[in-house]
Amino acid sequence: MQSVKIQNYIHLHFLVIIAGFTAILGELITLDAIHLVWYRMSIGAVLMLVYILAKKTPLRIPLKVLFSLSVAGVIIALHWITFFAAINVSNISITLAMFSTGAFFASFIEPLFFKRKIIGYEILFGLIVIVGIVLITQTELKYILGIVLGISSALFSTLFAVLNGKFVQHYPPSIISFYEFISGILFISIFLAFREDGFNHAFFQISSSDWVYLLILASVCTAYAFIVSVHVMKYITPYTVVLTYNLEPIYGIILALVFFPESETMRPMFYIGAGIIIFTVLLNAVFKNIKKTQI
């Protein structure tokens, strides 16, 4: 049993590395953010449907739940669009540093959804995170649009996670993801239909390298990572999973420095600010675990 647990710990860290590698693929793919997300969700939906049919999981859900999943699908589409757009206008390091702020959006959003009081230390940690953002902004002002988009992506991600936290208690994760992907595709498709450069000839002209990266993004970084993460949580506590996923910006920034050293090497103050944000996020998770053990 212990060896199985160790294997799943290793697998969990591999999943976090995959999550960090998503940003690398976002830099490598030449499509703009909206087109990239449309293809990612389309391929992901097909792969998820194949998995659902293979598992013989019923697809039928109540209409009211379908509407709620559609809202969540639009939110995850906006999260991915702002995430990849942030990479396009700044770089991976800026985007991932700002994405780390999601844990603190959760500290204020969760009480609204689950009707609990805001905890005092969460406000303090939120202020410390703001200090980290200010340090980064002062030294990397040229990336201000990327900073705003990165924070927006973190906000959408938090909203999505809170909504999914309710859905997953009643329905299989694969079913939830499938309908969310479908609604996200429809949302982006409607948006593109009203643009002159929407579904034009260029939209379907994709280079072979982009196809390879898109397939990796949709299969390994989306469908596979999501399905396997559910399996890992059977052997590892949710707290450990959440805490480990907070390491995603660290892994992602390291990968960015390896793959794109010229564009990803930042000024020292950036790493101080990013370090403050990431350390505070991890400290917040530790505090939450201590509080749970005391209950």
User: pLDDT tens, 14-63?
Assistant: 888 998 999 999 999 999 999 999 999 999 999 999 999 998 988 988 89
Question: Where does the pLDDT of residue 114 fall: very low under 50, low under 70, confident under 90, or very high at 90 and above?
Answer: low
Q: What is the DSSP string of 81-115?
A: HHHHHHHHHS-HHHHHHHHTTHHHHHHHHHHHHHT
pLDDT tens string 69-93: 999 999 999 999 999 999 999 999 9
Greater confidence (240 vs 251) lies with 251
Residue 62 CA, chain-centre distance (Å), reads 27
Q: Please report how the helices 144-167 and 102-114 are oriented relative to each other, as an axis angle in degrees rounded to 10.
A: 40
Stretch (H or E) spanning 222: none
Q: What distance in Å separates the CA atoms of residue 289 and residue 287, rounded to the nearest whole number?
A: 5
Greater confidence (234 vs 163) lies with 163
CB 46 within 8 A of CB 278: no
Supply the pLDDT for residue 106: 73
What is the span of the domain harbouring residue 160? 2-294
Counting the structural domains of the chain, the total is 1
Q: Per residue in 180-190, is it b (16+ CB within 10 Å) or e — as a string?
A: bbbbbbebbee
Supply the pLDDT for residue 238: 58
Q: What distance in Å separates the CA atoms of residue 81 and residue 88, rounded to the nearest whole number?
A: 10
Supply the pLDDT for residue 84: 96
Q: What distance in Å separates the CA atoms of residue 277 and residue 90, rounded to the nearest whole number?
A: 18
Supply the pLDDT for residue 140: 79
pLDDT tens string 87-112: 999 999 999 988 888 777 777 777 77
Q: What distance in Å separates the CA atoms of residue 91 and residue 94, rounded to the nearest whole number?
A: 6
Nearby residues of 34 by Cβ (< 8 Å), 6 or more positions away: 81, 188, 191, 192
Question: Where does the pLDDT of residue 135 fall: very low under 50, low under 70, confident under 90, or very high at 90 and above?
Answer: confident
How far are the Cα atoms of 34, 77, 88, 204 from residue 190, in angstroms, in the given order? 12, 13, 23, 17
How far are the Cα atoms of 84, 85, 153, 187, 281 from residue 149, in angstroms, in the given order? 9, 7, 6, 19, 19
Q: What distance in Å separates the CA atoms of residue 190 and residue 214, rounded to the nearest whole number?
A: 22
pLDDT tens string 186-245: 999 999 998 877 788 888 889 999 999 999 999 999 888 877 776 676 677 655 666 677
Supply the pLDDT for residue 102: 78
Decide if pLDDT at 291 tops 80: no
Closest of 132, 55, 58 to residue 98, by C-alpha = 132
Supply the pLDDT for residue 113: 67
| Lowest-confidence pick of 7-16, 119-128, 249-258, 270-279 | 119-128
Helix (H, G, I), strand (E, B) or coil at 199: coil
CB 221 within 8 A of CB 19: yes
